[in-house]
Structure 1
Amino acid sequence: MKLLVISDIHGNMEALNAVMEVRHDEVICLGDIVDYGASPGECIDLLERQGIPMVMGNHDNAVAFRMDCGCGYRYKHLSQSTREYTWKVLSDRQLEFLRKLPFSLTRMEKGVKLYFTHGSPLSFYDYIRPDTPEELIRGYIKGLDADFIFVGHSHTPFVRKVGDVTLVNPGSVGQPRDGDTRASCAVFDTETMQAEIIRVGYDMETARDRIRKNMPHADELISILERGN
């Protein structure tokens, strides 16, 4: 079975449509459906309509409960200003959908335990990156019974082994920040137990037009998409 793992969509419907075309049997989303992008409601509706299992990201939490997103200084002003737009365009039903998202999900595949969350097993505010010190990661995952841990949040894709555990970050669908402007996702093969990072081009022109037409800080948001960081 091919399990498509997606994360950090951030209201980019064009990028979400593109990654959903990647060959797969099932999908799991690691959160941050909203903020930064112009189509948060459409993204929620697509995921909900297809019955895709999802966990809560820090931006989903911030929108749902009107809290601080806990994100880095570089992007915080953008998250705060675009959240006002997000509240304006989401329905009460869509907000309630965000409120009900779980912190984590687990599943078994052929005796192998898979764990899915947004940031780390301790908090959706924690960043795990390709260069995060192994000692710090061991602290995040200490005591967790899992063979594979899937995380998002950093917008940086990687597959990394720490002890007996493999960590997989699919990168960001809607706002990549690793210098590659293409939407990022991962496919996990439950037969081989291998994860592959996949990059997909998408209709950035339409995404830009939606931002320019509807959102504050449009030039800055568009620049991030065009740079990939």
Structure 2
Amino acid sequence: MAVLDDIDLRNVDQLYCLGDLVDLAPWSNEVVSLIRERKISCLMGNHDELIAYNLPITTIKDKSAKENEARHQAISHSLNTVSDSNKAFLASLPKHIQLNFESQMVHLTHATPFGIADYVFEDDVQKLKACLAASSSSILAVGHTHLSYIRQFEEGIVINLGSVGRTQEPDAKASYAMLELNQTDVSANIIKIDYPIEETIKGILESSVPDFYAESLKSPSS
């Protein structure tokens, strides 16, 4: 709620969520219900897809055995606890949103235009430009890595919003992006705010979600 409370103070014209509403925490139903109640336009993230369609849980090769075990347990928890109604909502979400403003085309997707679980990092200039080209837009907004950044090129801008609750950045703050457009200018900013992280950690420790996900909040960049 900390991010939404901050956004509510800024009188934004349009609000979009780039996905991953569920998994790795005990509040999946509450998050989905909040998005539905507030009628926030939302994309499907890779975790949303996994839970909506009960996809096979795969082992990630570059993750530790401990993390893979925790991931399997957390996903199983979500599959067993997310309501059928919320799973149906997740299944209905689009994977891309294209916005056509007078002066700019803006493409929104969870990860990259190439895939819902693909990665593009701040220092990978070649792929950032490839993503911009594939998006057929001048502004591309993504998430997935939980690492916020803004990269500007002659071809356009790539914005990674970061994460509202599971950052991989050392400041351990929630982040989102604010985009302002007019006929001649584009202004993009990453906004970072404090949220009750200790309360979040306590909630995970007291739930059936593996403690691994509470521990990772204590040292997000590890």
Shorter-chain-normalised TM-score: which range?
A: 0.7 to 0.9
- Cα distance between partner residues in 1 of 2:56 and 2:147: 22
2:21 to 26, 33, 39: 33
- Cα distance between partner residues in 1 of 2:70 and 2:153: 34
- Cα distance between partner residues in 2 of 1:39 and 1:223: 17
1:215 to 199, 203, 208: 208
Shift of 1:96: 0.4
Deviations 1:189-219 (A, max 9, x none): 124421111111111222122211112321x
Question: Residue in 2 aligned with 1:5?
Answer: none
Call closer, same or farther: CA 1:62–1:21 in 2, change over 3 Å. same
Kept after mapping to 2: 8 A contact 1:59/1:69: no
**Secondary structure, aligned partner of 2:128:** helix
**Secondary structure, aligned partner of 2:166:** coil
Call closer, same or farther: CA 1:160–1:41 in 2, change over 3 Å. same
Call closer, same or farther: CA 1:68–1:155 in 2, change over 3 Å. farther
Shift of 1:24: 4.1
Kept after mapping to 2: 8 A contact 1:38/1:207: no
Q: Post-superposition, which runs of at least 4 consecutive aligned residues in structure 1 deviate over 6 A?
A: none
Kept after mapping to 1: 8 A contact 2:132/2:156: no
**Rg larger in structure:** 2
2:80 to 88, 101, 126: 88
Shift of 1:150: 0.3
Q: Does residue 46 of structure 2 align to residue 58 of structure 1?
A: yes
Structure 2 gaps, min length 5: none
**Secondary structure, aligned partner of 1:142:** helix
- Cα distance between partner residues in 1 of 2:119 and 2:25: 21
Structure 1 residues 49-128: aligned runs within 5 Å: 49-68=37-56, 73-74=63-64, 75-128=67-120
Shift of 1:107: 1.0
Question: Residue in 2 aligned with 1:201?
Answer: 194
Kept after mapping to 2: 8 A contact 1:180/1:227: no
Amino acid in structure 2 at the alignment position of 1:177: Q
Shift of 1:68: 4.4
RMSD, aligned CA:
1.8
Q: TM-score, with normalisation over the residues of structure 2?
A: 0.88
Q: TM-score, with normalisation over the residues of structure 1?
A: 0.85
Identical-residue share of aligned pairs (%): 24
**Secondary structure, aligned partner of 2:135:** coil
Shift of 1:67: 1.6
- Cα distance between partner residues in 2 of 1:93 and 1:196: 35
- Cα distance between partner residues in 1 of 2:92 and 2:158: 26
Kept after mapping to 1: 8 A contact 2:25/2:209: no
Shift of 1:143: 4.2
Kindly tell me the number of residue pairs found equivalent between the two proteins: 211
